[in-house]
Structure 1
Amino acid sequence: MTGFRIEKGPFAVTQIEAWIGLDPRFRNWPVVYALDGDDQIYVGESLNVATRFRQHLASQEKRHLKGARVVLDSTFNKSVCLDLEAFLIQRLSGDGTYQVTNRNVGISDRDYYGREKYQKIFADIFEELRRDGLFSRSLPEIENSDLFKLSPFKALTDDQEIVVLDILEGLFDDIASGTPSQIVVQGEPGTGKTVVAVYLMKLLSDIKASDSSQQVESESVLAEFFVEGYPELLHDSRIGFVVPQMSLRKTIQRVFKRTPGLDAAMAMSPFEMGNSRERFDLLIVDEAHRLRQSGNQPAGPLYKMFSDINMKLLGADDPDLTQLDWVRAISTHQIYLMDSAQSIHTGDVPSRALDALMATSDASHRRYRLTSQMRVRAGEDYVGYVRGVLSDTPPAPRHFAGYDLRFFDDLSQMRQMILQRDQEVGLARLVAGFAWPWISRKDKSAFDIEIDGVQMRWNGTDVDWVNSPGSPNEVGVIHTIQGYDLNYAGVIIGPDLRYDPRRGELRFDRRNYFDPTAANNMPRRGITFTDEDILGLVENIYAVLLTRGMLGTYVYVCDRPLRERLRPYFDVPANIAANAAHPNP
């Protein structure tokens, strides 16, 4: 049993007076409260909730709210209340029933004595609020949703908060001095690049709309940007958010639509950005390594559009121009979030352009790095381990404690295990390289993949496939999963990647590669891609797939020599034995 109780009543002076008469903690005790009305909700914490409610009733922003709930517990302290406040804001945002009107500057993720015990109580508080109608979905359903994972109310890790602080200090200095800026944020898979990008959009919107005469009650270092001087620098500024991948962009548009101060139209494709009639003061570009170069577009009409935008923005249709040039031409300030090792298509911006961008940001001390692993429970070393394994100079096999890493010789067993994990915790999916033709696009009754007698189809939708009803029984291609999290990933390494045991080398098999444009040459530009060039992209694809699972990764390999080559690195019993023979320093 827990000692909390939740008081509920109308958001009115008479109710406040009644509560004060019943319990002195309404005037002198740390509590958490929620105010709701007209599909909006505000969550706060206070040591004197009676006074705080009177302040809110006098506020034009909150006086329209109708209902009030107060969470009381005799064991609560300030740290617990800040944590519960953040917990509820994040879950309300992920649930989507209400539009959360809070700023995101006050969201904290700080440890304190007894936190693990209190977070169990938070789950009980959630359930009581859910029974009362404040939430429409269960806690696991919310926490597995992309609305939650990409919420602008996420609590930042320490290194994310430092990066955001450094970005804002540099950006505001550049705006104040009239100096154009190019800021680069680098990070491996799972370090939260998209989380930082979405957080920045909300934070900048809140700063822009804030009244600097009103004090922001937050212990966050980011609260300093709500004082006089900073909101004025953003006055009338036009800010946009560029996302190259369609599926991820659609999800972010849903998040922005539910977030005060943001709008779905702010999240756009590079082509929509390039066709804009107005300049942008600031563009935040997520997954900047997936911006494209000319000469290898996924659809015919885009070739002409690419040329038209080149002429419009740069006055010439130079074949060496890329969408990176568009971003610079149409905006004064840019923030790029990128990881060049996640480039998976010959049409992606070439590495030399990304290197030049990083050199420019280095020259002005505007390059930052995210390091804390947010996705994979195995920790920061796992991403480097996977990339090393998918090279011709692999590291010694390792065991990652607490991470469910398994290797399968029977695909049907791996498929059943993924379905079982999906029943247990949700978000367990099969994913694969583009090593089979997509027959079911035209013939819905056909199967695309057949291995060991197991017949499967590619993803039935390109948009938000991870959360679509049929996804547990399908196989997701790389383009549907990049930028998303899974709890468990069942990775099928197809026959597009093989191993030559005689030479001791990985090799690309073009005969078994079916991405319609990813390996195409660019004859109009005189560019030909060798198998060695495509091998690097295929290795990147499988590195992305093998780092999607937060709780575990299961692996099946089609090519037999490659299967034996990779077995010691992903097979838990063999992995542990090898680890004992080759202990880590």
Structure 2
Amino acid sequence: MTVNNGTSGNESPAYQNQDEVLTDFINPFWEELFSKDYVLKKNLAAVKESILFKYSPFTSLSEEKNNIINEIIRQPQNYIVSGLAGTGKTVVLTNLAARLSQTYPNKRIAVVVKTNWVKSAQKIFQAYSVKNIDVFTAYKLIKSGEQYDYVLVDEAHRLRRYYSKGNHVTQDIFNKDENQNELKLLGKLNPCFILFYDPAQTIRPSDIPKKDYNTFLTDNEFKELKLTKEYRVNINELNKTYTSDDFMTGIQEFLQIDSSNAKFDHNIFQSYLTNPDAYFGVVNSIHELFDYLDDCENYEPATQNRVMAGYTREWASHQKKNRDRNDVYDWVEGNYHWKWNSDSENWLMKKNSRIEIGSIHAVQGIDLNYAGVIISTDISIDNTGKIIGIPENYKDRNGQYKSDDYSKEGFSNFIKNIYYVLLTRGIDGVRVYFEDKKMQQYFYDFMGINKEVQ
């Protein structure tokens, strides 16, 4: 497919009476196209929220993103593109892959993603007829032994090392070599490497440690390019004084991920007390999270909304003996009950995902419109005011430390990173339920909310 009206990468600016133009002209025009069978979906909002739209390799980009893509194409070498959650790393990846494909049609390009995003990535490139691109997990690319000219790795902070308590199904690529990891094995394919990386999103002991990452980057002469502006969060509130950057900074400071004591507007975390439609809010139960999503969908039916949680329940519903049973639940609250995500691969698109609770492995790297987050009992606050992980409440079997490798600080960092990821999935709204009441009171105190937890 040839795109004759593609952009040069500039962001589309807001304009006067934008909402009126959308309501009075664009939406009716789209419905007219639908009535004549020129488009497949009647609701334009549903198109805008689709994966194909969000990650279209022909989408309009900011100047920062476009400059990064142009440099990588112009000067082929190893790059690491770093950025916090919401800065658009995956958007840059899909656009970069498409531009490389067009610029170098005879080059072989591999796109490496996590398991939960393989089918979505394949769907994107197939739908837009982007050629000479193959999509893999890191494990499957390494197993294939295929040589590629470019290897683009999304969520590169989740690449793994050999770890004896890791997932044994995919550990065979390391041959029990303690010094082996997926970065080194991918490097043997002799590609031009482009890694998309956020160290605050490492969540397991088997993820490559930052010091080993830095050694590899130095030895292989990677150049760092930074994404600095947050794009995911959309705070649509009247008379607001805060920005999406205040939210992202506040989450990092609250979770003690960033120790710089960066300034942010605390009102972003307080406004729900007087405005029920505020971007952020705290609720009193798990079922209220689902009620919140129901209300959002009544108002905006085309949105993608899910409840997520820390990994503090056994995945009993996934056990072979229970998979076909309708009376086995992982989360129970009074008369309410829910299952964990039925699958980690492409969970967002699964039929029942809206009435399930997603773990970190089902949601890392995805965008939601409205998000409900259960901050569970694998995290708490000690007597010194320091956030700590609670290992006995953490049920991810592949996320356990070896007995001779356990680090209280390291484990706490993994748990904090998990909640950083969960809390930054929502584009249009987030509601949080705290199972640990000490953690909830700490949040109130930290954010200047004058409330006592009952």
Mapped partners of 1:163, 1:403: distance in 2: 34
- Alignment partners' CA distance in 1, 2:340 and 2:183: 31
Instruction: Tell me the CA shift for residue 345 of structure 1.
Output: 1.0
**Quick check: 1:300 aligned with 2:168?**
yes
In the alignment, structure 1 residue 146 sits paired with structure 2 residue 51: yes
**Aligned with 2:110 (options 224, 229, 240):** 240
Once residues 533 and 113 of structure 1 are traced to their aligned partners in structure 2, the CA distance between those partners, rounded to angstroms, is: 48
Match of 1:340 among 167, 191, 199: 199
The 3 A distance-change label for structure 1 pair 531 and 306 is same
Equivalences for 1:50-89 in 2 at 5 Å?
none
2:311 equivalent in structure 1: 434
Q: 1:118, 1:107 → 2: CA distance?
A: 23
- Structure 1 residue 164, shift from structure 2 partner: 1.1
Query: 2:328 aligned with 1:446, yes or no?
Result: yes
Compared with structure 1, are the counterparts of its residues 511 and 433 closer, same or farther at alpha carbon in structure 2 (3 Å cutoff)? same
Alignment partner for residue 129 of structure 2, among 235, 242, 260? 260
Question: Is the CA contact 2:142–2:173 (under 8 Å) kept in the aligned structure 1?
Answer: no
Confirm or deny: 8 A CA contact 1:404 1:551 kept in the other structure.
yes
Deviation by residue 1:180-216 (Cα, 9 ceiling, x = unmatched): x32110011011101101111111111224xxxxxxx
Check the 8 A contact 2:82/2:198 in 1, yes or no: yes
Other-structure match for 1:391: 256
TM-score when normalising by structure 2: 0.85
**Which structure 2 residue ranges, 5 or more long, are not aligned?**
235-242, 272-276
Deviation at 1:436, TM superposition (A): 0.8
For residues 130-160 of structure 1, the C-alpha deviation after alignment (integer angstroms, 9 at most, x for no partner) is 2211221222222222222222122111211
Shift of 1:509: 1.3
Instruction: Name the counterpart of 1:135.
Output: 39
Cross-structure match for 2:419 = 542
Contact preservation (8 Å) 2:380, 2:390: yes
With over 3 angstroms needed to count, the CA separation of the structure-2 counterparts of 1:298 and 1:132, relative to structure 1, is: farther
- Cα contact 1:296–1:517 (8 A) shared by 2: no
1:500-549 superposed Cα distances (whole Å, 9 cap, x missing partner): 2x22222211111111111231x7xxx51223211100000000000111
Larger deviation, residues 401-410 vs 491-500: 401-410
Give 2:13's aligned residue: 111
**Residues 117 and 346, structure 2, Cα contact 8 Å, conserved in 1:** yes
The one of 364, 387, 398 equivalent to 1:506 is: 387
Paired residue for 2:442? 565
Report the Cα offset of residue 300 of structure 1.
Answer: 2.8
Q: Please state whether the residue corresponding to 2:191 is helix, strand or coil.
A: strand
1:275 aligned residue: 143
Residue 517, structure 1, aligned to residue 437, structure 2: no
Please tell me whether the aligned partners of residues 407 and 567 of structure 1 are also in contact (alpha carbons under 8 angstroms).
no
Distance 2:446 2:386 in 1: 16
Distance 1:441 1:369, change over 3 A: same
Question: Structure 1 residue 428: deviation in Å?
Answer: 1.9
Q: Which residue of 2 aligns with 1:480?
A: 362
**CA 1:554 to 1:440, structure 2 compared with 1: closer, same or farther past 3 Å?**
same
Instruction: Quote the Cα distance in structure 2 between the aligned partners of 1:332 and 1:268.
Output: 15
2:183 aligned with 1:324: yes
Is 1:468 the counterpart of 2:350 in the alignment?
A: yes
SS of residue in 2 equivalent to 1:256: helix
* Residue of structure 2 aligned with 1:379, choices 240, 244, 251: 244
1:44 shift after superposition: 4.9
Which whole-Å CA distance do the structure 2 matches of 1:388 and 1:479 have between them? 24
Give 1:318 shift: 3.7
For residues 44 and 295 of structure 2, the distance between their equivalents in structure 1, rounded to whole angstroms, comes to: 19
1:473 and 1:568 map into 2 onto residues whose CA distance is 32
Does 2:297 correspond to 1:419? no
1:56-114 Cα offsets, whole Å, 9 max, x none, are xxxxxxxxxxxxxxxxxxxxxxxxxxxxxxxxxxxxxxxxxxxxxxxx55565333764
Higher RCO (C-alpha 8 Å, min separation 6):
2
In 2: Cα distance, 1:360 partner to 1:183 partner? 13
Distance 1:149 1:403, change over 3 A: farther
> Is the contact between residue 242 and residue 269 of structure 1 (CA under 8 Å) also seen in structure 2?
yes
Residue 61 of structure 2 corresponds to residue 156 of structure 1: yes
Note if contact 1:290-1:343 (Cα within 8 Å) is conserved in structure 2. Answer: yes
One-letter code aligned to 2:437: R
Q: How does 1:211-222 map to 2 (within 5 A)?
A: none
Distance in 1 (alpha carbons) for counterparts of 2:278 and 2:226: 25
How far apart, CA to CA, are the structure 2 residues paired with 1:567 and 1:453?
A: 28
Amino acid at match of 1:519: Q
Residue 353 of structure 1: CA displacement? Answer: 2.1
Structure 2 residue aligned with 1:224? none
Deviates most, 246-255 or 136-145: 136-145
The RMSD of aligned alpha carbons is: 2.6
**Larger radius of gyration, structure 1 or 2?**
1
Shift in alpha-carbon separation, 1:278–1:412, aligned structure 2, 3 A: closer
Percentage of matched positions with identical amino acids: 25
Shift of 1:351: 0.8
Q: Is the 8 A contact 1:494 1:557 kept in 2?
A: yes
Rate the CA distance shift 1:43–1:238 in 2: closer, same or farther, 3 A: closer
Q: Which residue of 1 aligns with 2:88?
A: 192
Cα gap change, 1:566 to 1:44, in 2 (>3 Å): same
Match of 2:238 in 1: none
Structure 2 letter corresponding to 1:139: L
Give the total of aligned pairs: 423
Q: 1:273 to 1:410 in 2, by over 3 A?
A: closer
Of residues 348, 367, 377, the one that matches 2:224 is 367
Please give the per-residue CA displacement for 1:312-352, whole angstroms capped at 9, x wherever unaligned: xxxxx642121000122112311111101110111111111
> In the superposition, relative to structure 1, how do residues 357 and 383 fare at CA in structure 2: closer, same or farther (>3 Å)?
farther
2:212 alignment partner, one of 353, 370, 374: 353
- The one of 284, 289, 293 equivalent to 2:152 is 284
For the 8 Å contact 1:422–1:429, the answer to whether it is kept is: no
| Contact 1:422–1:472 (CA under 8 A) maintained in structure 2 | no
Over 3 Å counting, the alpha-carbon distance change for 1:503 and 1:253 in structure 2 is same
Judge conservation of contact 1:296–1:346 (CA < 8 Å) in 2: no
| Mapped partners of 2:233, 2:338: distance in 1 | 27
CA distance 1:565–1:322, change in 2 (3 Å) = same
SS of aligned partner of 1:373: coil
TM-score normalised to structure 1 length = 0.67
Q: 1:165 to 1:360 in 2, by over 3 A?
A: farther
Distance 1:301 1:564, change over 3 A: closer
Q: List gaps (5 residues or longer) in structure 1.
A: 1-39, 46-103, 172-180, 210-235, 308-316, 579-585
Q: Deviations over 1:6-40 (max 9, x none)?
A: xxxxxxxxxxxxxxxxxxxxxxxxxxxxxxxxxx7
